[in-house]
Structure 1
Amino acid sequence: MKIKLRHLLPAFIFFFTSIVSAQNFVGLTMDNYSGVNGVIINPSAVVDSNFRTDINLFSMSSFLGSDYYSIDLNAALESEDGFSFGNSIKTSATNQNQFFLNVDVLGPSFMFNLNPKSSLAVTTRVRTFLNFNNVNGMIYEDMEDGFNSEEDYSFELKDFSSTVHAWGELGLTYGRILMDTDSNFLKAGLTVKYLQGAGATFIHSPQATGQYEAQTELLTTSGTLSYGGAVGFDSDDIDFNDLTSGFGADFGMTYEYRPDNGLEEEKGHSDYKFRLGLSVTDLGSISYESTVTTYDLDETVDANRFDQEGFRTVLEQEYEGTEEMKDTKISLPTALHVMGDYNISKHFYVSVQGNLSLVSADAEHANRIINTVAATPRFESKWFSFYLPVSMRQYDGLAMGAGFRLGPLMVGSGSLISNVLGDSAKTTDIYAGLKIPIYR
């Protein structure tokens, strides 16, 4: 079956925002009652928590977007024909458009205390990332629409790359209190991850140019493009039967200023005036035995064939390629997370969190997160928390959402409010989960 990204993206946007759509647990990870969900962002969260143990049954977070597409959900919802995308979808073609998707499923996981100064966590995760970097929006649009342009034009691809990667993780986290004085508290954590890669596909072109002639509907190209993937991997039908091993790691530290520590016998855990956190996640990679074909793009072809037969078929039949077997290392989406959290009063907090990719946008054989900065005021208590995140997102702009934790249930979004009220949504996201919290 031929599936087009143009058709999938609006469906994803509607699906996620309909459920109550957050960028990987936005708001929740700042909660002092996030438990094992906070460990995947900063491993030091495992120690000195508000839990005797915390058991995650199932949690899912997903993020989707592009600076090429935008959608007006209000226009789609208010259509005379019922819900319809119709004219509610707009496109913004540039020489370097970006497309991105990540899905993070946290499976059965738990954390527990070893002693007053140290704790352990065991996590299981399944993750899928898709990045299309530096896509020429004009040629992408014509390939999707069947080259119906009535005018001649030229285009250029520079540092174009795409990586689709799916893998599982088994993580072991250890956290320890390093300092606990009258006012100053410091803890650190490390997660070691055993990776099980399902596979990856990848495309890369350092430089390519082309000309489309409308009268003859011919496409003339030049340059090179490499296309490859792990042996036996099908990105349209991902399974986890034939796995490849690898290793990864996360590490983090958290400092808390507790000016009143010691005044109350049970003081501690969430009782700080402010805290600062720093972590690096997803260090590591997985190597796959791959088939890689490098194509010489110096050719002229019937442009309509791309729509009729698909990009890969035309590439294999019309362009000269050199195939080789090689080991290809797919790097994880390494990221830096910086956090500041201020306790306004007993149950009210406001935090600022920055998530920065440590993988460059033009990196080959790698995935990357989208850079964000989020400010999140929240109400927090043992059985209930409510979050109102406001974030600035790379390739999009301002996003606003909401989320809550009610005992074992977690639901939230970093973009629901802005997607519903705004007229140009370029990103959307969701998280939801169920756990068994056992408090102190």
Structure 2
Amino acid sequence: MKNIFLSIIGIFSCSLVIFSQSYTGHTVDNFAGIHGVIYNPANVVASNLRADINLISTSVLIDNDYLGLGIGNIADIGDEFDDSLERFKSDANNFNINADILGPSFMFNLNKKNSIAFTSRVRVMSNINNINGELFETIADDFGDEDDFDFDNQNFVGTAHAWAEICLSYGRILISKPKHLLTGGVTVKYLQGAGGAFTKANSLEGNYNGSTELLQSNGLLTYGTSSDFDLDDIEFDNLTAGFGLDIGFVYEWHPNRKDEETRYFQDPYKLKIGVSITDIGSINYDNGEVTTYDMNNTVDTSTYEDDLQEFLDNNYDSTIQSQSTSFQLPTALHLLLDYRLAKKWLISAQADLSVVATDEQLNNAISNTITLMPRFESKWFSLYAPVSLRQYGGFNAGAGLRFGPLSIGSGSILSNLLSDSTQSADVFFGLKIPLYRK
């Protein structure tokens, strides 16, 4: 069993090297099809497509307030954080990773007022909140730091969870007036949990002496996993079932629509307002193992050999117990305001807000984000330029495009190119078969 500190550090480094995804901007496109449904299930109905078939899409989003993620720095990241990377150490640093693979999926219209969609997804989320940056860096560097420092971790918590989803979405036109259109949708999710790991310390304080390599600490540290879970080698062959739910509504204002016989896609809206709540639910695991370490000790870190789990077991008293665990999905509220400037030019404002407590173990959470995005949108081609403010990643500027069946983009690529101090990185890629309306 690997300790969650090093496991998440490993995922963080690996994700930056693999560097794939985050559907930033793409889910708002009125021709995004199935990608709009995972953002708001009401988007399945009154769509600009007759049907949409997703072949494969992938997205990765990384937010943190510890490490600079400029393009030049990302290329230098290997198994460990390179010394050239800019650090922003504090008493309470945070890391979020959100990886999402959208597998074979489709949506189609049943009739004028009803539509359905089927989606399959694999997701991995990892959060570290309120960890002392100096301590984090020293652990990542195998206690090779020669500087002295004090640390005081309050409400430190870390959670990593991997699961798959098989989803059925249904949407219906609820109100259809000449100038007003209201749709609603719901997605029911059958969850298959691969497992998770978590750690927490309500109060962990102490100091490190770089010259003597002595680490003095006080407090309790809890670490646990679901049964047989290894964050370094996630397997989807022994899964645990659960259920989840998305729900959403979309309102459109069509000031020029003459009557109800004029189809909504023939007279594009002037204003669109959307609201949705996604990822309601949890996955319960039996027979998990929870270890509680008594950290009241002074230890010699010169004996550390790149295995934090072994180091903790050898130097601190601990108790182990079996315990059932329930991992909360990253429940989030999404708000959208989309305004049409001209026939093919639009500008949108989005708020993506976590409704999950980030100071509780077993909870994953998205980063609170506000995004403003101008875009050009047509049947076969869309181009968008999202500008966002992320909770831990700060200011970001990106770009993306959709060209027929291909979608690619990033909500941070421009920021990553222009500054080594950018603390967020994401990119997405998608390949599908869209069937547009005539």
Q: TM tier, shorter chain?
A: over 0.9
Per the TM alignment, residue 404 of structure 1 is displaced from its structure 2 partner at its CA by 0.8
Deviations 1:133-168 (A, max 9, x none): 111111111222233444543211111111110000
The correspondence for 1:311, drawn from 295, 298, 308, is 308
Q: Could you tell me which of 216, 221, 226 is aligned with 1:230?
A: 226
Match of 1:138 in 2: 134
Q: 1:350 to 1:7 in 2, by over 3 A?
A: same
Number of corresponding residues: 428
Tell me if the contact between 2:255 and 2:269 (Cα under 8 Å) persists in the aligned partners: yes
Q: What corresponds to 2:273 in structure 1?
A: 276
Which residue in the other structure is 1:205 paired with?
A: 201
- Once residues 131 and 322 of structure 1 are traced to their aligned partners in structure 2, the CA distance between those partners, rounded to angstroms, is 25
Going from structure 1 to structure 2, the CA distance change for 1:354 and 1:323 (only over 3 Å counts) comes to same
Deviation at 1:53, TM superposition (A): 1.1
> Residues 76 and 86 of structure 1 are in contact (CA less than 8 Å); yes or no, is this contact kept in structure 2?
no
Residue number in structure 2 paired with 1:370: 367
**Post-superposition CA distance 1:20-52 (Å, at most 9, x none):** x76x31111111101011100100000011122
2:169 maps to: 173
Cα offset, 1:11, TM superposition:
6.0
Query: Counterpart in 2 of 1:261?
Result: 257
Q: CA deviation at 1:439?
A: 1.5
Partner in structure 2 of residue 293 of structure 1 = 291
Is 1:126 paired with 2:126?
no
How far 1:210 moved relative to its partner? Answer: 1.4
Task: Find the aligned partners of 2:44 and 2:70 in 1 and give their Cα distance.
Answer: 41
How many angstroms apart in 1 are the aligned matches of 2:235 and 2:364? 19
Match of 1:58 in 2: 56
Which shows bigger deviation, 139-148 or 276-285? 139-148
The alpha-carbon deviation at position 75 of structure 1 amounts to 7.3
Secondary structure class of the residue paired with 2:167:
strand
Q: Does 1:324 align with 2:326?
A: no
Deviations 1:49-107 (CA, angstroms, capped at 9, x unpaired): 11221111111111013211114435788x9xxxxx96641111111001111110110
User: SS at 2:138's partner residue?
Assistant: helix
1:318 Cα offset (Å): 1.9
For the residues of structure 2 that align with 1:319 and 1:127, how far apart are their CA atoms? 34
Q: Which amino acid in the other structure matches residue 110 of structure 2?
A: L
Find the counterpart in structure 1 of residue 416 from structure 2.
Answer: 419
3-state SS in 2 of match to 1:38: helix
Alignment partners' CA distance in 2, 1:45 and 1:363: 32
Aligned partner of residue 116 in structure 1, secondary structure: coil
1:395–1:232: structure 2 CA closer, same or farther, 3 Å change rule?
same
Deviations 1:406-431 (CA, angstroms, capped at 9, x unpaired): 11111111111111022312111011
Distance 1:59 1:215, change over 3 A: closer
Deviates more, 1:426-435 or 1:216-225: 216-225
2:25 corresponds in structure 1 to: 27
Change (3 A) 1:162 1:4: closer
Instruction: Flag the 1:151–1:237 CA change in 2: closer, same or farther, 3 A.
Output: closer
* Paired residues of 1:256 and 1:274 also in contact (CA < 8 A): yes
- 2:106 aligns to what? 110
User: What letter is aligned with 1:430?
Assistant: V
| Matched residue type, 1:155 | F
- Structure 1 window deviating more from structure 2 (64-73 vs 409-418): it is 64-73
1:26 aligns to what SS in structure 2?
Answer: coil
The 8 Å contact of residues 177 and 260 in structure 2, kept in 1 or not, is answered as no
Q: Percent identity?
A: 46
* Residue 89 (str. 1) matches residue 85 (str. 2): yes
For residues 9 and 322 of structure 1, the distance between their equivalents in structure 2, rounded to whole angstroms, comes to 29
Query: Match of 2:404?
Result: 407
Residue identity matched to 2:252: E
Contact kept, 8 Å, 2:226 with 2:285, in 1: the verdict is yes
Confirm or deny that 1:438 pairs with 2:432: no
Distance 1:7 1:170 in 2: 28
In 2, the alpha carbon distance for the partners of 1:402 and 1:262 equals 36
Per the normalisation by structure 1, the TM-score is 0.92
Residues 142 and 306 in structure 2, CA contact (< 8 A), matched pair in contact too: no
Partner Cα distance (1:412, 1:8) in 2: 22
When residues 288 and 76 of structure 1 are mapped into structure 2, their CA distance, relative to the original with a 3 A threshold, is closer
Give the aligned partner of residue 67 of structure 2: 69
